[in-house]
Amino acid sequence: MNAIEVRNLKFKYKDYRKDSEAWYEPVFLGLDLVVGCGEHMMIMGKAESGKTTLCRILTGSVPKYLGGKLEGSVAINGKDLSVTQTWDLVNDVAIVAQNSEEQLVCSSVEDEAAFPLQMMGQQRDKMVHSVDAALSQFGLESRRLQSVESLSGGEKKRLLLAVTKAIGPGICLLDETFDELDQTYKSILADWIRSTDRTVLLLCSRPLEICRGIFDSFGILEDGVIRSCTEEKAFETRLSSLPPFATDLSQAGAITARDLEIAKGGEFHLMVPSFELRRGEVVSLSGANGSGKSSFARALSGLDDVLKGQFSLEKKQRPVEIGYLFQNPDFQIFLTTVRDELEYPNAKGKDIDGTCSLFGLNPDGIASILSYPERKKLQAAVYYLLDRPYYILDEMESALEYEDCHRIIGLLRRHGAGVLIITHDSRIAAWASRRYVIEDCVMKEASDEH
């Protein structure tokens, strides 16, 4: 018996904007996928190729809860999903969602890890042991009572991994799970995949070197089907055509910050002796999960107060000058359609259709059901129209391919904007002319050999 067996899968989503018989273009056109028990498989697929939809189909949430028309057969551990209730799959398969916000439901870290075990009626002693072990593996044991909402982006991903570990399903579906993890936790996840006897299916849009040598099989999801391929082929990138961004200081101006001290609840503390972003340059910022990159971005863009420090611009002026693209686009998208978002607050003089084609968006698309990468593109398109002199891109790359990230940065700086890229990906940091890093609670400029 195979862990996953998908035969001739055809699937399309319903188009709720039109009459009852309207459908979107099919996502799958006769897809076959067989993953043996204990096999580790990596599937590469461009943004919007159907990776998340495939995960949802394998967990039974599509079409049952999210709609759509499915043909073909899907079996998990020999259970035919067309006649299996999703709750009967709870020990068979679990997913770590691409967008953590979609999956986190409890208020505290500890409750989140215990919740599914309580629902499964697990005995208390066993539950306490599973929660302890899972939180400890993903470095969250000291955060047990912290609110889930206040965790950093990478910490939320680690919490989802801990929840999956606590449940201990036979099959783990990892939807872009390496994104947002820092190097330490990317290694911990890679080591876990290498050593586990569970079935693992990783879906991703950017090949990460750390994933070499840990998978048994590889596939490329393209044109609605999966074609098996070699490891070499799966790791192919076209990075060579993506050069670093040139600095152009022809327009005067800079945002500077001195002697900042930033704190939140708990133990978090960050010192920033000196930071500068000039117009026309691209700089990067890297550091471990929870080191304070997003907290710094919020303080710099005037959204949060600092304990101490000086900025070259008044607090009320900074949100107007700096376009801050949040790590999770869901917190910046709140209107019904793509067009509504782009027109807000004033449509006058805006080339909405031209902008949509530049960013690969459908102006009539419903914002809340766009895929995660499409929401990232929408967030960028909104700021493209706002045309700010400075931008902060907080882990924009998660769920996007290198080409898309590079192109979007180029579009945002078409009038010479200064851009700060926050990233865990050294290939993306290499596009910057200067690099900042956070180490031991202090942000500093990195030397070349760093």
Ligand X SMILES: Nc1ncnc2c1ncn2[C@@H]1O[C@H](COP(=O)(O)OP(=O)(O)OP(=O)(O)O)[C@@H](O)[C@H]1O
* Closer residue to Mg ion (CB): 43 or 422: 422
Q: Tell me how far, at minimum, the Cβ of 291 lies from Mg ion, in Å.
A: 9
Answer whether 285's CB lies under 8 Å from 293's CB: yes
CA separation for the pair 275, 315 (Å, rounded): 16
155 binds ligand X (CB under 6 A): yes
* Closer residue to Mg ion (CB): 200 or 270: 270
205 binds ligand X (CB under 6 A): no
CA separation for the pair 56, 62 (Å, rounded): 5
CA separation for the pair 148, 319 (Å, rounded): 26
Question: Which residue from 295, 301, 355, 379 is in contact with ligand X, where contact means CB under 6 A?
Answer: 295
| Sign of torsion over alpha carbons 428, 430, 436, 438 | positive
Q: Tell me, by CB under 5 A, how many residues bind Mg ion.
A: 5
* Closer residue to ligand X (CB): 62 or 262: 262
Residues with Cβ < 8 Å from 343, sequence gap 6 or more? 350, 352
Q: Tell me how far, at minimum, the Cβ of 40 lies from Mg ion, in Å.
A: 28
349 binds ligand X (CB under 6 A): no
Q: Tell me how far, at minimum, the Cβ of 143 lies from ligand X, in Å.
A: 7
* Closer residue to Mg ion (CB): 199 or 327: 327
Return the SS3 of 228: strand
CA separation for the pair 298, 305 (Å, rounded): 9
328, interface contact from Mg ion, ligand X, none, CB < 5-8 Å by kind: none
146 binds ligand X (CB under 6 A): yes
Q: Determine the interface stretch with Mg ion among 163-171, 238-246, 321-329, 382-390 (rule: CB under 5 A).
A: 321-329
With CB atoms as reference, the residue minimizing the distance to ligand X is 265
Answer whether 203's CB lies under 8 Å from 174's CB: yes
Q: Convert residues 228-267 into a mask of x (bound to ligand X by CB under 6 A) and - (unbound).
A: ------------------------------------xxx-
* Closer residue to ligand X (CB): 215 or 311: 311
CA separation for the pair 363, 357 (Å, rounded): 9
Return the SS3 of 271: strand
DSSP for 176-220, written as a single string: STTTT--HHHHHHHHHHHHH--SEEEEEESS--GGGTTS-SEEEE
Q: Could you check whether the bond before residue 207 is cis, i.e. omega within 30 degrees of 0? A: no
139 binds ligand X (CB under 6 A): no
329 binds ligand X (CB under 6 A): no
Answer whether 282's CB lies under 8 Å from 419's CB: yes
* Closer residue to Mg ion (CB): 75 or 419: 419
Question: Which residue from 50, 60, 139, 153 is in contact with Mg ion, where contact means CB under 5 A?
Answer: 153
290 binds Mg ion (CB under 5 A): no
Cα 105 to Cα 102, 115, 135, 188, 326, distances in angstroms: 8, 9, 17, 25, 21
* Closer residue to ligand X (CB): 99 or 291: 291
Question: Which residue from 59, 99, 284, 294 is in contact with Mg ion, where contact means CB under 5 A?
Answer: 294
59 binds ligand X (CB under 6 A): no
Name the nearest CA neighbour of 304 among 268, 246, 333, 264. Answer: 264
48 binds ligand X (CB under 6 A): no
* Closer residue to ligand X (CB): 64 or 264: 264
Q: Tell me how far, at minimum, the Cβ of 166 lies from Mg ion, in Å.
A: 24
Q: Tell me how far, at minimum, the Cβ of 2 lies from Mg ion, in Å.
A: 38
> b/e per residue, 265-288, with b = 16+ CB within 10 A?
eeeeebbbeebbbbbbbbbbbbbb
Residue ranges binding Mg ion (CB under 5 A): 152-153, 293-294, 327
Residue ranges that bind ligand X, judged by CB under 6 A: 146, 150-155, 182, 264-266, 268, 287, 289-295, 327
